[in-house]
Structure 1
Amino acid sequence: MSTPAVRAAGRPRVVLVDDHGIFRSGVRLELGPRVEVVGEAEDVAPAVELIGQLLPDVVLLDVHLPGGGGHAVITEVKKDHPDIKFLALSASDAPEDVIAVIRAGARGYVTKTISTADLADAITRVADGDAVFSHRLAGFVLDAFAAAPAADDIKPSFDPELDQLTTREREVLRLIAQGYTYKEIARELFISGKTVESHVSSVLRKLQLSSRHQLTRWAAERKLT
């Protein structure tokens, strides 16, 4: 088991994970000399591999990625490198997105409206072991965890298979079981069709199923409709 190298001259070593190359370039440029960006990735699998190789102080990542989301990156990396710290940087302030990455092990969550100076400060603070949240999200995160088990109406099922799914994945699963199309699910949850497909693929993988028909039957057997 490896741990991040000690950072030199107070500059955190950072890996950027976001599926928009222009955004990554902008962040790298804006942060300038305050942090050392040692690598970039745009999806879950390459991010996990790169982080394992570079062992940065902080991983700055979006919560929505094509291959499963930021929480999937955190979960996989933490298995072998529990000391690596994660800071979510996202356009989303949706409750399920915030809670998913915090439960996975992120040390903070800031939105993309954050200023350059504040982002650099947040990265440094996370590298030093602090927890950092955008002002509007801090109270929400405390309230959500104080009101466990979840931030919405989905309660723990005590079904090991179901409990491994994120809140958003359960929402998608329930709508599929009710006969919604991907386009209808996207409209209902205010997400893109591509994101719906990503969630369905993740659910199929976690439940070891191979088709929407099997998924619908699985959900019906557990009365999720």
Structure 2
Amino acid sequence: MGDLNGKTALVTGSSRGIGRGIAQRLARDGALVAVHYGNNDTAAKETAENIRGAGGRAFIIGAELGVPGDAESLFAAFDDGLAACGAEPGLDILVNNAAISLPGHIDEVTPEEFDRTLAVNTKAPFFVIQHGLRRMRDGGRIINISSAVTTTAFPSTIAYGVSKGAVDTLTLTLAKDLGARGITVNTIAPGFVATDMNAAMRATPEAEAALSAISVFNRLGRPSDIADVAAFLASDDSRWITGQRFDVTGGSML
């Protein structure tokens, strides 16, 4: 993959799961990584320590997403973190990974649950990008983490699907808008990846086997499966790719 030395990356929701995998991979490729967390500073510190232990560079920033002023708080912490590291101001790679998934069919989702899901999964990335662009250098990279649910019907997570469908559209529109600055905007759509978010869905060996069988490789995804694609999209190797949605589901639902 491309060399990210001298680049600065921000990965939202990178204290655990897919976000942690992406943060670790970008750091391994040379980027200084801002590890964002919402409320679990212990996990964020662990991610940053793992990165530094492997010879990479990272700092942690805390900011709750899905609340008023979230983007402002996030980037205030980001700017302070850069200064504390003695790094130059600016941003090269923004990965919008933080998300929540509240289960429920159309007749079960409450207005409060719907609003919360869209606030974290759709509104927050929108305004994080808005504020991030004020710092992003030309030729930067925006990577949005979407989901397989935007092209495959999962009625039991309808609000989550709606929120991620909006992210796919955001990606397409921004790619056209930001092309003049050489900024690429792409989406990664994972399938089932073994993370804390879906632990309840694979609580038994039978349940895990059923989820694994959805992929042609008969296994669940790993955070590293997603992180490797993110590293490609963050690199100069992907310079001629923008506005695309990458299905990273291990051939699920073929």
Greater strand share, 1 or 2? 2
Q: Do both share a fold (TM > 0.5)?
A: no
With normalisation by structure 2, the TM-score equals 0.27
TM-score (structure 1 length as normaliser): 0.29
Higher RCO (C-alpha under 8 Å, 6+ residues apart): 2
Between structures 1 and 2, the one with greater helix share? 1
